[in-house]
Structure 1
Amino acid sequence: MTDTSDALVQPAPPEIDEETAAVLARDLWGVRGAARALGSHQDRNFLITPADAAPRVLLKIANPSVTAAELEAQSAAADAIVRAGVRAPRAVRFADGSTVRPVVVEGVTMQARLLEFLEGETLSGYLSPAAVREIGTLAAAVDVALGDLVAPAAERTHQWDLREAPGVLAELREYVTDADLRESLSRAADAAWKVVAGLADRLPSQFIHGDLTDDNVVAGDPVTRVPDGVIDLGDLNRTWTVGELAITVSSLLHHDGMDLARATRAIAAYHAVRPLSPAEADALWPLVVVRGAVLVASAHHVIATDPTNEYAAENLLHEREILRQATSVPPEVATALVRAATGHETVTLDLPASSPLLSGSPSVSIVDLSPTSPLLDEGRWLSDSAEDELFAAGPSAARFGEARLTRSRPGAPSEPATVALGVELQLPDATQLTAPWPGTVHPTDHGLELRTDTHAVTIDGCRAITPADTEVAAGQAIGETAGRIWIQVTRAGVSAPRFAPASLVPAWRTVVADPSALIPGLTPAPVSADDLLARREASFADVQEHYFADPPVMVRGWREHLIDTDGRVYLDTLNNVTSVGHAHPRLVEAVAAQWRLLNTNSRFHYPAVVEFSERLAALAPDPLDTVFLVNSGSEAVDLALRLGQAWSGRRDVLAVREAYHGWTYLTDAVSTSIADNPAALQTRPDWVHTVPAPTGDGAYTADAVARVEELAAEGTPVGAFVAETVFGNAGGVMLPDGYLDAVYRAVRAHGGLAIADEVQVGYGRLGEWFWGFEQQGVVPDVIAVAKAMGSGHPLGAVITTREIAERYRTGGYFFSSAGGSPVSSIVGLTVLDIIRDEELQRNAREVGGYLKERLQELGRRHPILAAVHGSGFYLGPEFRRASGEPATAETAAICARLRELGVIAQPTGDHQNILKIKPPMVFTRDSADELVAALDRVLTTGW
């Protein structure tokens, strides 16, 4: 190690104003232009914008402690990085090949260079998974590029070399004025350094960038914000190679939404390019802790010695967050995360040989608190007293490793700590507890702890019956219960929480053992299959896509929420299928009751199908009075088109572009959304004719009518015109006033039928109107409806006139085995009852209106949110770039970030730049606020 000296901490350079910087650029390099100061801890940096529109350049005036030889080495390093295919700022070379010139300011000599300016953005705000992975890849690529760099003159002692951390902290910790922070910083750094020191002789060294952080990489693409270049080689030095990655990872920890599991993506990406040895993997996280401590101490030093340095003052908050995150779990747990990310072995902590903990082996029943537990149906998991009530039933146990739904709540923007790292038992008071192995008993504030050299078992909620520091043998009585007890086994000297986020549980298992074997008959919670997605892809047709690249496994729904296997609760803004909310108790009971009685095909005669058909006919305006029952929206629209063909005797159909109507042959033929089928317009049969989607300004109505007349004049009058009554697939866009009335009249004048596709927007979802066509003041000839009708059960309908229905009989009969079955009919009746009794249409009008207002206000603060289409619970926030182009990539990224924050949303429209906000109709104002808060956070901090 290098001896500690005053040279470890660089002095602050003299102030240099922008006018002086512009003069230096002109006199030394002949570049005339305006200078703008950029922040730095130790140097003086200026962005020079040439007056002749030439590319911008960076004037970098190094700290007085930096020599010309060191800067020449930095220039050589930049050249090596560029040769490796990574963007880096090369220095402008003089005729003699050198890149450095001395400058004197206030009597102080410093070295200056003019560098290429890498256009792009540094990494601020939220970092996407792709950005996190790529910064790890960049760090590895730079280290590989610099592996052969030889520059003895550039080897130096300075405060950012992690090898010098003990000396740096010895100098700087006195500037940390907060005594508690100073103490915790020192304690964490000293413990981390003890680990590093034991590994130091196995850590390879080379020249590294030395400050490859979020501030020193740039993303050339402002949409993806994935870094593709590195800047500022001012901390180039020969040191431990793994220090590069420690510096990079530490810089990620202050970003919005970052946690340890997400940060390890950078580690895995680095390892894929430049593999870490086992020693480097074990040293990495201690070095991250050390880096965090140095950052905090250095920031306090800079602020004390350079009070005008706003850059340092602003960064201090970030640097304290880095240190907090770096020390948020025990070092062993963080290192287990690193070893898992790099493919190095991790060892789960097992119990030592043991005997039962409970005297007499009392029998206990399992209290299932998992997301699929029937004990938690009908929202019982939301009660703060749910666990107490379930344990009160008698001797019982909650399992180790179980993700408890009772520990999760809606609206949480981060992964909840749901997985139990211990066993919880409800036993009769005074049940005797015996030592499972020899050890020393220590009473605690909440119970007792039995310690050995390797393990500790903590029992909270009991009374110790042995004096403190008593050594006991296995089987010896050590305590007795005094209520519900918590049992946790850890590695000696490690403190663990009772519950952990699922992403950290494998790492915690290296220091937390499963105590289930101490309780006779108790087994740990089953581990969910982590190969489920692979199994799906192996057996399920690929074309049946799923949301998200790495979809959560959903196992429960409740009202407007979805819940995954880890107990994470997501706000469902997407599910117009589940109209009355997930798992509505009234619907569940009605289905179960009917299935116990009868379910068969619809050609039998039974009351429910009659009652349901009557209710549907009554909901439609005159003269629509006749109902067909089917199983889906595709079937409903398909049948509606067949009615049109039978009525008119013609096959020709007029459809609106950008619409999706279904997957059957007929519905696919009239579906023209290129989002669902990129070749939709080129592959339409010749009997399908289209008109433009009326989604903006234009003479859409007149043009559509003209198209009807044109087809008639050509001898191919349309037999049916099909259109969504609100442009659902395009993002809830309302049709121009009078549009349907004019087109319907023109079609009917030539003997065709007007078909209203209400599959997505009907059934009260729009709030103001039960049917979408009511907004247009028209009555169609045929209504096709589905989705909301069954609230997740396959159910659809066609409502038309008796005359139109009878015309269909001339071509044969119609039959759907399950359409209108007893269970389906009961589902349909119950959904209508719930919509009526719970006033869900009114809720759509009021809460949907409130949500739209809040989204519009959000758009006034975030210009990318250009418009909010729709009504009620069918809304379409539309995203566009400043140029007016559809923000397609941004919308996909926004949806991915919303998912991380616990909100399920997806894009729609031909440009996939609109969110389809169509939640269950039980959506509340609180949920509306939650959605807006999450979207505001995304638009503020990035995606």
Structure 2
Amino acid sequence: MTDANSQHDGEIQAIDALLRDSYGVSGKVTALPGEHDLNYCVEAEDGTRFLLKLHAPGDADDLAMQIAVLDHLSQAAPQLPISRALADRNGATAIAAALRGNRTARLLTWLAGNVWSKSSARGTQSVVTLGRLLGEMDRSLESFSHPGAKRAYAWDIGRADMHLENLDFITDGEKRKTVGAILQRFAGEILPRLQQCPRQVIHNDANDYNVLLDETGAVSGLLDFGDMVETWRVIEIAVAGAYALIGTEDPVDTIGRLAGAYHAVNPISEIEAELIFDLTCTRYAVSMCMAAKQIGENPENTYLLVSQEDVWRELQRLQSENRSLAIARIRDACGFDPIPHGTRIERWLERNAHDFAGIFKPSIGKPKVLALDITTTGQDAEAWASLDAAGAQRLIAERVAQAEADFAIGLYGEDRNIYKSDAYRTSTAGQRRSIHLGIDLFGQAQEPVHAPFAGTVAFIHNDAVAFGFGPTVLLEHRTDDDVFWTLYGHLSRESVAKLSVGRAIAKGEAFCALGEASENGNWSPHLHFQIVTDHLGLGAQMHGVGVRDQWQVWRGISPDPSVVFGFSTPASVVVARDKDFLVRERHRRIGRSLSIAYSATPLKIVGGEGAYLIDEEGTRWLDMVNNVCHVGHCHPRVVKAAQAQIGKLNTNSRYLHDSLVEYSRRLAGLFPDPLNVCFFVNSGSEANDLAIRLARAYTGHRDIITVDHAYHGHLSSLIDVSPYKFAGKGGEGRPRHVRVAEMPDLYRGRFRYGDADAGSKYAEDVRNQVAALTVEGRRPALFFSEGILGTGGQLTIPDNYLRQAYAHVRAAGGLCLADEVQVGFGRVGSHMWAHELQGVVPDIVTMGKPIGNGHPMAAVVTTEAIAASFANGMEYFNTFGGNPVSAEIGLAVLDVIRDERLMHHCKVVGDRLMDGVRALAARHEIIGDVRGHGLFNGVELVRDRETLEPAAAELDFVIAEMKRSHRILLSSEGPHHNVLKVKPPAPFSAEDCDRFLNALDETLSRLPVR
């Protein structure tokens, strides 16, 4: 045995003794890398892992700081994936140890995962989860302070100016120049702004060897607090960004995602967001100075030479980025306007638009839209794709010539993906620019161009034609607070030659002219007009197209110039974006409580047809959960009715209109007497709210009886009568004026299938609620119930339940409401309304969702007596309820239900579906119950048919797999979230039904074994 092996064995024995005697731990010990400290993985006999650190002798304050910060975080942020210090038998978290000299031993919890640098799973999720972790950690460290963190530390880039004295160690001239410029910028521009930012203790070293990732790429741990320092908080993001961007395709995007995730949990200021890019570059500059100095002192350290090549490569990539654009992108990622003054400029333009001069003389005439993006749409898309640049320009010229006007419009926001040159990239690693930032006005060569408002000539580009853009001028304009520019491209070289920088241009002055095709890359003569809030340092060579995936940033740089023209025809388009962006913007611009279907893998839906939804890639998804579009997505007859009426009139119902009266007659005709008076509103929630008002006006009482787990709408008054909401997460409990009746569940309730009196028995609890009110000297105003209980789990109501419940309520002077918002309009197959299954006539019926096939309309139908009681002197008016467009849509929906025999169709296909699922139940014991009427069905999954243990996790699997493998969209329902909800558009066909049954059979066969 060699001396080295003997030494190793001796060390392991010493470590075993230390672990056993001090911590009561024994197991396998494996050495880990470490620069100064000795690190070991300890795997105990039960498989538990620990990290043993034997700290080298050194700064006592530094070690004490590392011990203190873990103690602090264990209390302040126990949820974070950070090692926790374990106490020895005497309660100490740091003890003396003798191994290769005197050391301090600490036993820490083990963090599982692979280091970032070696993980094949790293990606966007890694960046986002790291940003969140650092944000949460720094928020928890705001109150932490320690003498060891107050050191003057060379790796604190908040002190980067101290490295100016080390520049001479960098022997390469180009590198020395680049690093020197960064450090000079830091000292002169960054540090003064940094001093306005908050300071605290930060980790300061989230490098790619200190961050652990799990198998999904999410951050699972953060190691090594040895570089902690008290400095400016934002440096945490810059340091992490410098490592996270290594090897990524778009380094600025990586920095932005990291900063945005940090900001989401620990908000930073606009100043901090603006400094991140420069601080990231500064981190690289400091690293190069430190390494150069160490190499100078130790020339044989070849490792430093190799690692610094990586640093130099990434720094060069960052330096190739447009700094202004990078800062704008990071600001946007954090939720700030990409250009700080951009919104103010847009508001100024809107306020002053009435006073702008015309860019062309009025005789040119009214514009026509000319969509130049014919590369991805249109019959000649394939032919277009085969054209060279000259051929493409000829085709555009032909299109212009075909336009029957003096000039046509190239739209703001349209895709100009005819630009194939690498010059149309944001940087060497950036994405191609293709989205038009201006409006093109086609006219005659030499047509004078007038200034819409006063300014001065700021930039002129009149060199050789580049990229077909031709001579360009930027005029500078000033508001009371800001500066912005207008860009004029494709100009006459002769007219531009007469201009000079600094020349004042008056409002309405003809200062240049349109150029010939020959001097503008053979484009037909036209003006490219663009508003510029930040020219990005490019001056008159400012980009005329931006990057689609960065559109929100480029839109801030060059907002829609339509405001300058006031055209009567659209001159801009909505730029389609990817799903990640849409999710981010929903969270930013729309309340986060608005959920997204299939949030893990959301769908971007752009079209619909019948029972199908269509995503942005043209994939058709069988929609089995959207009962809103009752007669089918985008039914041609309904669409035509809406288009025809909105082209004639859409106003409120104070005016007489035939359609409203006709629709009220048709709708009321679907109910028996005395239900013959209609109120029109805009949603099911509004309908149910109005119903409560009607009942209280008629009865003089205020109390409501509702069925357990019911949901009747999102208004405050409806949350009060929806146990599904008030008794759930975020709810405030049952209000005093509401009584909750037992849910009549024939599958898992007190009275079940086979009990002929179950309906009457369940209705007894309604009588109990009435009695409870009587004891308190109160009486019910209204009893709420659906004909089939939707959120209750698609529950069919036992026979005689509503008949008896209505009798109990009416005996106490109350009214009874049938909520048909989900189940009405023939969906149940055998009847037009679900309450008819019970043979009852309600006092009030509310409708929504299917009534307008997705158009926002709803209705309340009641008796003349109840309606008369509501006319008590307080006028009731709903601005849009019953407007002519809604009335025509409502009539079209009724016509389609009638003419396409949809009620009968729902029964036939619904029976086929339920018979098919019941047949599957013979092979899949997880199917506990199949219930419903027509195409309103529930399939309850249970792990045991005897105990009825809910199979919620299994249902989640089924829903996810039906989407992933079969492109079928479904959802869950019920108090235990174990009921498969089926309520497709009524045109759901027999073929669709069979597709669903086969897919469900296959999916259930693949259920994971529990």
TM class, shorter-length: 0.5 to 0.7
Task: Tell me if 1:787 matches 2:849.
Answer: yes
Pair 428,26 (structure 1): closer, same or farther in 2 beyond 3 Å: same
Checking the alignment, whether the CA contact within 8 Å between 2:625 and 2:982 is kept in structure 1 is yes
1:936 match: none
Structure 1 distance, partners of 2:930, 2:210, is: 37
* Deviation readout 1:477-506 (Å, 9 max, x if unpaired): 894242366566744558747135697656
Q: CA deviation at 1:77?
A: 2.9
What is the letter of the counterpart of residue 794 of structure 1? M
Q: Write out aligned runs for 1:134-283 (5 A).
A: 135-136=134-135, 138-139=137-138, 142=141, 145=144, 148-149=147-148, 194-196=181-183, 198-199=185-186, 203=191, 209-212=203-206, 231-233=223-225, 243-249=235-241, 262-265=257-260, 283=278
Pair 476,165 (structure 1): closer, same or farther in 2 beyond 3 Å: same
Q: CA deviation at 1:683?
A: 2.1
Q: CA deviation at 1:36?
A: 9.5
Checking the alignment, whether the CA contact within 8 Å between 2:161 and 2:187 is kept in structure 1 is no
Q: Write out aligned runs for 1:682-693 (5 A).
A: 682-684=735-737, 689-691=741-743
Checking the alignment, whether the CA contact within 8 Å between 2:210 and 2:223 is kept in structure 1 is yes
1:426 match: 442
Task: Tell me if 1:741 matches 2:728.
Answer: no
Task: Tell me if 1:59 matches 2:52.
Answer: yes
Structure 1 distance, partners of 2:555, 2:885, is: 48
Q: 2:708 aligns with which of 657, 661, 667?
A: 657
Pair 32,337 (structure 1): closer, same or farther in 2 beyond 3 Å: same
What is the letter of the counterpart of residue 210 of structure 1? N
Structure 1 distance, partners of 2:272, 2:717, is: 60
What is the letter of the counterpart of residue 427 of structure 1? G
Checking the alignment, whether the CA contact within 8 Å between 2:94 and 2:104 is kept in structure 1 is no
Structure 1 distance, partners of 2:537, 2:378, is: 36
Checking the alignment, whether the CA contact within 8 Å between 2:688 and 2:846 is kept in structure 1 is yes
Checking the alignment, whether the CA contact within 8 Å between 2:767 and 2:805 is kept in structure 1 is no
Structure 1 distance, partners of 2:952, 2:60, is: 42
* Deviation readout 1:226-271 (Å, 9 max, x if unpaired): 99x9642255589997643212345677799976655443565799
Pair 704,141 (structure 1): closer, same or farther in 2 beyond 3 Å: same
Pair 226,338 (structure 1): closer, same or farther in 2 beyond 3 Å: same
Structure 1 distance, partners of 2:723, 2:379, is: 50
Q: 2:466 aligns with which of 444, 448, 455?
A: 444
Structure 1 distance, partners of 2:838, 2:135, is: 59
Task: Tell me if 1:76 matches 2:48.
Answer: no
| Partner secondary structure for residue 796 of structure 1 | strand
| Partner secondary structure for residue 149 of structure 1 | helix
Pair 886,521 (structure 1): closer, same or farther in 2 beyond 3 Å: same
Q: 2:824 aligns with which of 762, 770, 773?
A: 762
TM-score by length of 2: 0.52
Q: CA deviation at 1:827?
A: 3.3
Q: CA deviation at 1:649?
A: 15
Task: Tell me if 1:773 matches 2:834.
Answer: yes
* Structure 1 stretches lacking a partner, 5+ long: 1-13, 174-185, 220-224, 295-304, 307-311, 351-355, 408-414, 529-544, 562-566, 618-622, 800-804, 854-862, 899-903, 933-943
| Partner secondary structure for residue 799 of structure 2 | helix
* Structure 2 stretches lacking a partner, 5+ long: 1-6, 117-121, 290-301, 346-356, 382-394, 418-430, 451-456, 477-483, 502-510, 518-522, 575-588, 597-604, 610-615, 773-779, 917-925, 943-948, 964-968, 1000-1010
* Deviation readout 1:849-874 (Å, 9 max, x if unpaired): 99xx9xxxxxxxxx9xx999999997
What is the letter of the counterpart of residue 796 of structure 1? A
1:335 match: 327
Task: Tell me if 1:796 matches 2:859.
Answer: yes
Checking the alignment, whether the CA contact within 8 Å between 1:422 and 1:487 is kept in structure 2 is yes
2:592 match: 548
Between 389-398 and 869-878, the greater mean CA deviation after superposition: 869-878
Q: CA deviation at 1:102?
A: 7.1
Task: Tell me if 1:706 matches 2:761.
Answer: yes
2:516 match: 480
Pair 327,722 (structure 1): closer, same or farther in 2 beyond 3 Å: farther
Q: CA deviation at 1:330?
A: 2.4
| Partner secondary structure for residue 212 of structure 1 | coil
Checking the alignment, whether the CA contact within 8 Å between 2:273 and 2:330 is kept in structure 1 is no
Identify the structure with bigger relative contact order (alpha carbons < 8 Å, sequence gap 6+): 1
Task: Tell me if 1:586 matches 2:640.
Answer: yes
* Deviation readout 1:492-534 (Å, 9 max, x if unpaired): 5587471356976567866x69999999999999999xxxxxx
Q: 1:629 aligns with which of 678, 694, 703?
A: 678
Pair 164,406 (structure 1): closer, same or farther in 2 beyond 3 Å: same
Q: CA deviation at 1:657?
A: 0.8
Task: Tell me if 1:498 matches 2:559.
Answer: no
Q: CA deviation at 1:441?
A: 0.8
Structure 2 distance, partners of 1:347, 1:148, is: 42
* Deviation readout 1:813-870 (Å, 9 max, x if unpaired): 99998887876543321122355678988799999x99xx9xxxxxxxxx9xx99999
Structure 2 distance, partners of 1:40, 1:872, is: 67
Q: Identity over the aligned pairs, expressed in percent?
A: 20
2:787 match: 725
Pair 49,242 (structure 1): closer, same or farther in 2 beyond 3 Å: same
| Partner secondary structure for residue 424 of structure 1 | strand
What is the letter of the counterpart of residue 440 of structure 2? E
| Partner secondary structure for residue 463 of structure 2 | strand
What is the letter of the counterpart of residue 608 of structure 1? E
Pair 689,141 (structure 1): closer, same or farther in 2 beyond 3 Å: closer
Checking the alignment, whether the CA contact within 8 Å between 2:950 and 2:978 is kept in structure 1 is no
1:827 match: 889
Structure 2 distance, partners of 1:70, 1:869, is: 72
* Deviation readout 1:189-210 (Å, 9 max, x if unpaired): 9968843453257659998533
Structure 1 distance, partners of 2:60, 2:987, is: 64
Structure 1 distance, partners of 2:413, 2:932, is: 39
Structure 2 distance, partners of 1:913, 1:417, is: 48
* Deviation readout 1:625-668 (Å, 9 max, x if unpaired): 96542225468668999999999999998742121346999988
Task: Tell me if 1:26 matches 2:19.
Answer: yes
Structure 1 distance, partners of 2:184, 2:983, is: 57
Pair 279,260 (structure 1): closer, same or farther in 2 beyond 3 Å: closer
Q: CA deviation at 1:276?
A: 6.6
Structure 2 distance, partners of 1:603, 1:450, is: 56
| Partner secondary structure for residue 678 of structure 2 | strand
2:504 match: none
Structure 2 distance, partners of 1:416, 1:369, is: 23
| Partner secondary structure for residue 332 of structure 1 | helix
Q: CA deviation at 1:432?
A: 8.3
Structure 2 distance, partners of 1:34, 1:647, is: 79
Pair 75,521 (structure 1): closer, same or farther in 2 beyond 3 Å: same
Structure 2 distance, partners of 1:905, 1:395, is: 53
What is the letter of the counterpart of residue 631 of structure 1? F
Pair 485,639 (structure 1): closer, same or farther in 2 beyond 3 Å: closer
| Partner secondary structure for residue 284 of structure 1 | helix
Pair 520,715 (structure 1): closer, same or farther in 2 beyond 3 Å: closer
Structure 1 distance, partners of 2:906, 2:283, is: 51
Checking the alignment, whether the CA contact within 8 Å between 2:131 and 2:262 is kept in structure 1 is no
Aligned residue pair count? 773
